[in-house]
Structure 1
Amino acid sequence: MSAKSKYLKVALQAAKKAEAILLKYQRGKLEAKRKQDQTPVTIADTEAEKAIKATIQKSFPSHDILGEEFGGKMTPSKYHWVIDPIDGTKNYLRGLPMFATQIALVKNGKIILGVSNAPALGELIYAEKGCGVYCNGTRIRVSRVRKLDNAYLSFGGIKHFGRLRLTSALLKLANKVQGYRSFGDFWQYHLFAQGKIDIVAEADLQ
């Protein structure tokens, strides 16, 4: 890609620092606590978020940072970083490889870059506005499939479709495509960005 901006360079550095922490803790025995929303959180989540914040603050002390675990104070700052140290904590706790660190930078209310690092899968995907999307340094593109009967579908948590009474709509879509699976979490978006699947269906985006 063209030269990485100073913002993307720092985001990638932060993701790599989080990676070292996540891989270290996953090799051992982890205990999880429950947050108010009943989702799990581990020491790996909190330490990785601290490492990401420290890396960003060192280079951009005036920028706001909003984290999954510690929150953050949002001011009228021009730049806001949004981070999730582990997307897929339940997978992480079970020793599964489907977990990733997510980092985004918002400028004046619009996302200008994003990093999604899945170290156990060996996938570091990043994008910067106007510069394309890359996986491990190689340019990637979404699928060119245009017909449903040639498409491959991935969908999110099935219980969310049920809660929103969208199960029948999902089944109708599934019956029209070539194949389908539930890869879930960030992973289906990695696959989508690489053109390995053609459609992602979600019922509970937040």
Structure 2
Amino acid sequence: MALLSASVGGLRELISLCEQFASSHGLKYNAKKSELMIFRAGTKCPSEVPPVRLSGVPLKRVYQFKYLGHVLTDDLKDDEDIERERRALSVRANMIARRFARCSFNVKTTLFRAYCTTFYTSSLWVKYTQKAYNALRVQYNNALRALLHLPRCCSASGMFAEARVDCFYATMRKRATSAARRVRASGSALLAVVADRLDGPFMGHWLSLHTPVSHNWTK
């Protein structure tokens, strides 16, 4: 579980409520597996933070952690999570290229669609650098080249067209469209706030993927 608060005092109150609930149900939180992160407000971040305790134990402050498989950092940038996905894509691509090297062309393209186009939580990426984004794109292109035993110098657009497989940008657009549709169709009041803010970071990013300038990176 995750607790979010705009202040240390508010976070302490939330933790107290959780401790009371756990105590009344015969449960106990593991303070050693719990962590504290302070998100930056632009370039501003307090150097000293009053201690926040769980079961009397001060929580360790961290600057990044993985929540439900998604890497969060204190600067709210997505480069680390994109790198996580790039490494995962490399592992999956190498696995299918090695195990299914003698399979037919159609089998290989089917495996590529199943294992290499998922991009877990990619629809949440709204603040990243060109370097990180391009590294994932290159990994995606090289994954299909390796699977089909094509030279690195071959045209990426021609390769995807011939294989009838979505290129990197088409894959990202489809992922964003799927996420936007689910958010707008949700009955959650919290998700409604995201869906109704067309000038917000998520909707702005999702819409930008469908324009000629399909990048939303930062330096």
TM-score (norm: length of structure 1): 0.25
- Greater strand share, 1 or 2? 1
Task: Mark the structure with the bigger radius of gyration.
Answer: 2
